[in-house]
Amino acid sequence: MDLYKKIINKEARVGVIGLGYVGLPLVIEFVKGGFYSIGFDIDEAKIRTLKKRKTYIKHISDSSIEDAIKSGLFDATSDFSLLKETDCILVAVPTPLDKHHQPDLSFIVHTSETISKYLRKGQLVVLESSTWPGTTEEVMRPILERSGLKYGKDFFLAFSPEREDPNNPKYSTSNIPKVVGANDKYALKCAKALYDKIVIRTVVVSSSQAAEATKLLENIFRSVNIALVNEMKMILDRMGIDIWEVIRAASTKPFGFMPFYPGPGLGGHCIPIDPFYLTWKAKEYDMPTRFIELAGEINTQMPYWVVQKTVDALNNNRVSIKGSKILILGVAYKKDIDDTRESPSLKLIEIFREKGANVDYNDPYIPVMPRVRKYRFDMKSVDLNPDKIKEYDAIVISTAHGCYDYEMIVKNARLVIDTRNATEEVVHCREKIVKA
């Protein structure tokens, strides 16, 4: 039976490499869809947790893991030799930037090298990681062909960008349309058929390059508009005008306006990174990307602007930043999740420390600061109560978790630096609040 028929009959075995915020919900959806699925990851701790029928991601429940295992259709492993037992291999690994803001494809390269060791005839490989247009064809394909198998004849290759928004109550993997692109008609047919089984709609584009570019456009659109409101925030702050009030008023226009909101910087696995993937690739074609790069510069500078606003506010309270006590509220990159990837809170901690401040943090979803590629903070979340809050010279709201009692926080704080407009509904002690 050929691959397409296997997929249509749900007899194809699915392998998902990378069991993070993209890969884990993806493999669970395939299990729900009736496919025998294997999750692969190099992190043994993740595998052990899944074997115990537990989750390690806040918005994915223990019950969803238990249901997947009880179905008999799910297994998790670090044994990549089992790839040869799968028919469709989906790759959801990180694509970060290096210290020079250049694309780091090492995870894609290493994963492709691993797949090539076990690749067999008739398999479909789909890359989901955000990357520059051409990666699937120019990077993955040559590595996979080291197996001795021929692309388009012996194995098939496609790209389908992930569109995860962790903890979004409205959208999850199954009800977000999936873009799919491939440079081989049969590969595209098979990839579309595969995703058709688990998502609400599959959107076909003409090539893997077009699918890769689609993902970049989605996130560059957001980056540019966030940079716009961040710049407006700084300008209007100098004028004594509240950017949040202006956005609220502008949002009443029923056409031609879409609200974006300022913050302490960009976080997450896409928006702070994807624009730089396109600017890097554009250089190959002698094309400047001034607009995109300018947006990146503005967003990158936001943590420094927040720190300066804090320094000025402390100065008004006759407190020096050097030796001051600062409490950062929220180190996740957005509210009500447990994900610190590229979180601007981490940059805030670094800058405050460089200026001599003593910095603590509170995040109910992140009790211990994880080690990430850029930062190695040995920190634990401190308790958040009235007596503890009174110890600090300034409370910096970096992530506006819904569980925070902002009335209590403002009442007991000496100074509150609000980067998210989280204190908008607070009635009392507003003289303590500085928006940044």
Strands (E), 37-185: 37-40, 74-77, 88-91, 124-127, 156-159, 178-181
Q: What is the C-alpha to C-alpha distance for residues 180 and 126, in angstroms, rounded to an integer?
A: 9
Could you tell me the CA-to-CA distances from 339 to 21, 55, 206 in Å, in that order? 9, 14, 34
Beta carbons within 8 Å of 436's beta carbon, 6+ residues apart: 264, 305, 306, 309, 310, 417, 418, 419
Kindly tell me the number of DSSP H helices and DSSP E strands found in the chain.
15, 13
**What number of residues does the chain have?**
436
| Phi, psi angle pair for 17, to nearest 5° | -100, 120
Rounded (5°) CA angle 274-280-286: 135
Dihedral of CA 185/189/191/196: which sign? positive
The DSSP line for 10-60 is T---EEEE--STTHHHHHHHHHHTT--EEEE-S-HHHHHHHHTT--SSTTS
Q: Which residues pair with 107 in a beta bridge?
A: none
Could you tell me the CA-to-CA distances from 111 to 84, 94, 95, 127, 336 in Å, in that order? 14, 11, 12, 10, 31
SS3 of the chain: helix, strand, coil, percent, to 5: 40, 15, 45
Of 88, 270, 403, 429, the active-site residue reads 270
* 270 flagged as catalytic: yes
Q: With beta carbons less than 8 A apart as the criterion, state whether 178 and 90 touch.
A: no
Question: Could you write out the three-class secondary structure of 343-399?
Answer: CHHHHHHHHHHHCCCEEEEECCCCCECCCCCCCCCCCECCCCCHHHHCCCCEEEECC
Pairing mode, strands 202-205 and 156-159: unpaired
Residue 381: closest CA among 397, 394, 369: 369
Rounded (5°) CA angle 236-240-241: 55
Q: What is the C-alpha to C-alpha distance for residues 155 and 83, in angstroms, rounded to an integer?
A: 13
C-alpha neighbours within 13 Å on the C-beta side of residue 56 = 17
Active site residues: 270
